[in-house]
Amino acid sequence: MIKDKFKPNTGLTLIEILIGIIVSSIMMAAIYTTYSVVNTTYNQVLEKAKVSRASRDLIELLIRDARMAGYKYYLGTNNLGFPSQSNLQFITGTTSIFDSHDPIIIEKDTLGHDIADPNNYVRPTKINLVQGQADACCDKIYFVYDDFDHTDDNQPFKRYKVTYFADIVFDGTPQNPTNQRYAVFKTKVGWIQGLNDPTGDWDPGCPTCYDRELIKDYVEDMEFIPLDKNGRVISPYPSPKTDDASKNLYKVRAIDMRIAFVSEKPFFRFERGQGNPRQLSGFSRDIKSYTDRNLRDSVVVTVHTRNVVEKNIY
């Protein structure tokens, strides 16, 4: 018997091909979903770490200057021909904030700053309030402290006043603003008074001074609460503007600081409805509600003002 040398051709039927395509599609969809979830989670962690890192940087600057507030350099006996202690004039009591040399001054709910005359600065407001909420941001704080430069024969003793304040920034132009938000700035002025001069003046243009140096963008709020030696809130806030407030200038022993940040990009996957908004609270602020997708978080620290001493020291 002769065997058939030709065998029938074998292959996939149309039904088998369709089943393969369906299975492959399901696998690809599962892989994409997993990748999307992992990528979203990674971006959220990255954004939160970015907010946290920026908040630590700003807080560290505030802590350093708060601890320096009221510092006076004592040189002691020396062979440089300089006085043993600062010769700089010290202006305190009821006066203007610009003239004051008091170590810590806090202004409540004050936006913006004029380096030449902070008393005449007009508070700006957002062009469009977010969700109709009150424009309650932010506190402003001043720190004054001394330094020493042995290479400056005319004025070895230095004094600086640094100011942290928030202001409104936005993308676009004032005529067509977008993405309105707050940012924190820092300003520094120096006291100019030679060794043989009885008086001096604050100079915004000193070599080491600067104006409106951006410290942190995308800030939601900034609060400073002064505390006395018993841990109680000082009221009114320390300021040379009024008699009552000036009495508290040297009672500050610690400051509760709260900085609230908002993420630059959307953080959550979905917006919240008006019935279940995300909320942000502060020391003395009303609770704010938000329905957008951005992350908001607060950093709170207590800083001891180790160089603020009784007024009669000066």
Predicted confidence (pLDDT) per residue in 172-201, tens digit = 666 666 777 889 999 999 999 999 899 999
Report the length, in residues, of the chain. Answer: 314
Is residue 115 scored above 70 in pLDDT?
Answer: yes
State the pLDDT at residue 265.
Answer: 80
pLDDT top residue among 267 and 314: 267
The answer to which of 24-38, 117-131, 221-235 has the lowest mean pLDDT is 117-131
Residue 111: pLDDT band with limits 50, 70, 90: confident
User: pLDDT higher for 105 or 1?
Assistant: 105
Is residue 188 within 8 Å of residue 161, measured between CB atoms? yes
Give the model's pLDDT for residue 33: 79
* 159 vs 57: CA distance, rounded Å: 24
Per the model's pLDDT, the better-predicted residue between 243 and 226 turns out to be 226
How many other C-beta atoms lie within 10 A of the C-beta of residue 146?
A: 21
Checking if the pLDDT of 298 tops 80, the result is: yes
The pLDDT of residue 132: 42
What are the backbone dihedrals phi and psi of residue 3, each rounded to the nearest 5 degrees, phi first?
Answer: -80, 150
- The string of pLDDT tens digits covering residues 20-31 is 888 888 888 888
Confidence of residue 313 (pLDDT cuts 50, 70, 90): very low
- Mean pLDDT score, 216-223: 90
pLDDT of 184 reads 94
pLDDT of 223 higher than 90:
yes
Query: What confidence score (pLDDT) does residue 12 get?
Result: 67
| Pairwise CA distance, residues 285 & 306, whole Å | 28
Which among 269, 240, 266, 301 is positioned nearest to 97, based on CA atoms? 240
Rounded distance between C-alpha atoms, residue 289 and residue 211, angstroms: 33
Band (10; pLDDT cuts 50, 70, 90): low
On the question of pLDDT at 65 being above 90, the answer is: yes
Widest CA span of the chain, in angstroms? 131
Tell me the three state secondary structure of residue 160: strand
pLDDT-based confidence at residue 205 (cuts at 50, 70, 90): confident
The predicted structure's pLDDT at residue 312 = 44
pLDDT of residue 42: 66
Instruction: Tell me the pTM.
Output: 0.81
Q: Which of 6-10, 56-60, 195-199, 235-239 has the lowest mean pLDDT?
A: 6-10
